[in-house]
């Protein structure tokens, strides 16, 4: 089994690689690791996601919490000092980023889960997604993100997040 990252991967290129594997009787890719989360959606959703579903490829997302932005701790440039990743949050401080945080705020209040848990549960609910990768720097953060696996979002919550995260 092999895994493939998806930084510049297109559906036609992956389909070609799978076809070559089959034709040449070589090991085929079994998983795809795309940069995919509530904010970063365009490169995976669509043809690449459909191909993964059709070919039964596992999808293991990276930067699942957008380097911490989707935890809700970065709301303004004043928050950038909270961690070494802080200065990289500027790219998320857009109208769409604020819509996503507002949706996470509302859902957190409604269902009693943290932003990180909700963002990861949304990923887990996506067609074809096998597992998200999320990093933790403390045991408390690890405990928090582990609870995302047990969180099931209702259709309204998923639709709210989908709308908020669309470009």
Does position 28 have pLDDT exceeding 80, yes or no?
Answer: yes
Does position 65 have pLDDT exceeding 80, yes or no?
Answer: yes
Sign of CA dihedral 70, 74, 76, 77: negative
**How do residues 125-140 score in pLDDT, each as one tens digit?**
999 999 999 988 899 9
What is the pTM (predicted TM-score) of this model?
A: 0.90
pLDDT for res 85: 79
Element (H, E) at 54: helix 47-54
Cα 28 to Cα 33, 43, 134, 156, distances in angstroms: 15, 22, 26, 37
Phi, psi of 115 (to 5 degrees): -55, -45
Does position 6 have pLDDT exceeding 60, yes or no?
Answer: no
> What is d(CA 144, CA 151) in angstroms, rounded to the nearest whole number?
11
Task: Domain 2-165: give its CATH code.
Answer: 3.20.20.100
């Amino acid at each position: 089994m092999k895994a493939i990252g998806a930084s510049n991967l297109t559906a036609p290129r992956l389909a070609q690689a799978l076809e070559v594997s089959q034709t040449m009787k070589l090991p085929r890719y079994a998983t795809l690791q795309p940069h995919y989360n509530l904010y970063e959606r365009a490169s995976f959703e669509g043809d690449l996601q459909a191909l993964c579903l059709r070919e039964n490829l596992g999808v293991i997302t990276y930067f699942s919490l957008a380097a911490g932005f989707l935890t809700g701790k970065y709301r303004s440039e004043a928050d950038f000092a909270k961690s070494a990743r802080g200065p990289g949050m500027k790219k998320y401080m857009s109208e769409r980023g604020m819509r996503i945080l507002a949706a996470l705020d509302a859902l957190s209040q409604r269902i009693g889960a943290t932003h990180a848990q909700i963002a990861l549960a949304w990923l887990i609910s996506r067609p074809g997604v096998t597992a998200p990768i999320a990093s933790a720097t403390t045991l408390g953060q690890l405990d928090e993100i582990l609870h995302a696996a047990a969180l099931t979002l209702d259709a309204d919550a998923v639709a709210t997040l989908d709308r908020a995260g669309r470009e």
